[in-house]
Structure 1
Amino acid sequence: MASIPPMISLINIFFDEETALKFLQNEKIIKKEMECPACGSPTSFQRAKLLFKSTQISCRKAVNAKNGTFFADQRLSFGKILHMAYLWLLKTPVPLIIGQCEVNSTTVCSFLSYFRQLVTDALETEECVVGGEGIVVEIDETKMGKQKYNRGHPEDGVWVVGGVEKTKEKRVFFVPVEKRDSDTFLDVIKKHVAPGFIIHTDLWEGYNEIEKKLGFKHYTVNHSVSFKGPKTGIHTNTIKGTWNGLKLMIPAQERTKKDMRVRL
């Protein structure tokens, strides 16, 4: 996975609109040239208005260079939008994004929601698969919800099935589900874990048929006795820790069916 470049290398893109445009053209997001869709003639590019206009005198067709892109119908500059996207990738708090980009809170929140939806749509076109021959994957489930007043049990929320590799990369998957039952969980595991993996879970009955129905090696730890098998060393501490981190990242008010798929 590519790392996020340092701010210093992108500063001109964020604060110089000509540089931002060239960046988007080089990335093939904004076209450098095009034929007129009306007459088929070459077009000239009017930078000030971001328009491609036919060079055929008898044709008055003009096409906005932003048409069909993320930037269509957006009034903010390319650089400002890219700057917001960069800060969002760095998990910058909203108040800091507002200050850095000099944009009001409504606009910032609207764009951040848009960014999340774009990423969600992109991820849903390709299933995330972890594991592989001989790789151990810890799998667990958790309830993502608000806490009841003066109680420790979640109120409304969403069940999420997740898995994390016990590898250097620690690849993960998180899937919100409607039901907390064996059939649902086995279907998630089948879709998101590659053949040949070794699975570690707790003793919840929903995992009992992993080996029988999916044909994968399955080892368990009894949490009523210990968090780590005293003889086997088997545990699910990695995925448990991952849940803790995930819950710190997702505000309680966003742990709903509507928001969870986007937030995950």
Structure 2
Amino acid sequence: MMTLHTKVLSLIDGRQTFKKRKKLIEWLMKKELLQGKMKCKLCKKRMKLEKHSNVDGLQWKCRRKKHRGKTTKKSVRSLSLFQRSKLSLFSWMKYIYRFSQGLQLRQIDLLQDGVAGSSRTLSKISLKLRKVCKSAIKRRERRGKQRLGGPNEFVMLDESNFYHKRKYGRGRFGPTWRRRKCVFGMLGIRGKRRRPILRLVKQRSRRHLIPLVTKYVRQGTTVITDMWRAYTTVIAESGFVHFSVNHSRSFVNPDTGAHTQNIERAWSTYKSQVWRLRGNRTVKTLKSHLAFIEWTHWLANEHKDGPLGRLLHDIRHFCKF
């Protein structure tokens, strides 16, 4: 049986003939990424899909006599993620495939491959897809399903600054140097599974961090932190099993074996991803990229068809017909 990845590649590879365009549109309709039915705004009857000379090769039309000679037309992209975009559906699916696979999305490579004609178009597509992912992870949070801890899962807590880095300590200071907010991370670990919750906080203080811990971490969970005073005094009193490590003396607690190496390693991965995609320029952009990291570990990696299947699923729910 053909997998989802193989099916998508077979649809977008090769020359863009009318037959392939029609086949791709039919597949997108089957996956509910495009509307399979369209009603005429004049007679309220179903419109017909007819051949057209536009970039998609097809268009919804209604030629009934009640229109008095007028022909009602609608794009096949109406009420979908692709509406108001001049980019072909082939290019959209190529970008969605690369985006979901976590491939190196260097704009120069995408432009050379003919995915889009300008870097501005690529930025708009990326923004739309991250918006879809952010909406999905927020929907999960509203349902109360984004919580860490419980049996066989422990949680590591740490904070980190996502500042702009200058090469060799030279160059101009970017606006991110004046940013006082830091990223507070809670990393749930169970076997090989890693699930992060990343929140931008105004200050590294007890008043800002502890409410987040009690909100997202279940009572009775084993929590590992450094020796910051707010952690050592409040975590244990809040109903958690608390272990700590003094980083000024060692990276691993010699008595308990507790360490925070997993979340320190995770910071390196998250920062490299954000910096590579230039997601640290504004607070809004940084929040978007942090939400995408959460989406990857909470939803994409758990889907039966992987990140691609989850992304198509979330696009379908993001654009409800």
Q: Which of 159, 162, 187 is the matching residue for 2:182?
A: 159
* SS of equivalent to 2:236: helix
* SS of equivalent to 1:11: helix
Matching residue of 1:41: 45
| Residues 1-264 of structure 1: pairs in structure 2 closer than 5 A | 6=5, 8-15=6-13, 16-48=20-52, 50-54=58-62, 56-59=64-67, 60-89=71-100, 90-92=102-104, 93-103=106-116, 104-127=118-141, 128-147=146-165, 150=169, 155-157=177-179, 158-167=181-190, 168-207=192-231, 208-213=233-238, 215-251=239-275, 254-255=279-280, 256-264=282-290
In the superposition, the TM-score normalised over structure 2's length comes to: 0.72
Q: Which runs of 5+ in 2 are unaligned?
A: 14-19, 171-175, 291-321
Give the C-alpha shift of residue 150 in structure 1: 4.0
Q: Alpha carbons of 1:47 and 1:125: their partners in 2 closer, same or farther (altered >3 Å)?
A: farther
Give the C-alpha shift of residue 70 in structure 1: 0.5
* Larger RCO of the pair (alpha carbons < 8 Å, separation 6+): 2
Q: Which runs of 5+ in 1 are unaligned?
A: none
Aligned Cα root-mean-square deviation (Å) = 2.5
Deviations 1:168-194 (A, max 9, x none): 211222111222211221222233223
CA distance in 1, matches of 2:7, 2:48: 31
Give the C-alpha shift of residue 234 in structure 1: 0.6
Give the structure with the larger strand fraction. 1
Give the C-alpha shift of residue 230 in structure 1: 0.4
Determine if contact 1:84/1:101 at 8 Å carries over to the other structure: no
Deviations 1:17-70 (A, max 9, x none): 223212210111212223334433232222436433346420354333322111
The number of equivalent residue pairs is 257
CA distance in 1, matches of 2:249, 2:262: 18
Give the structure with the larger helix fraction. 2
CA distance in 2, matches of 1:112, 1:26: 24
* SS of equivalent to 2:127: helix
Give the C-alpha shift of residue 251 in structure 1: 1.5
In the superposition, the TM-score normalised over structure 1's length comes to: 0.86
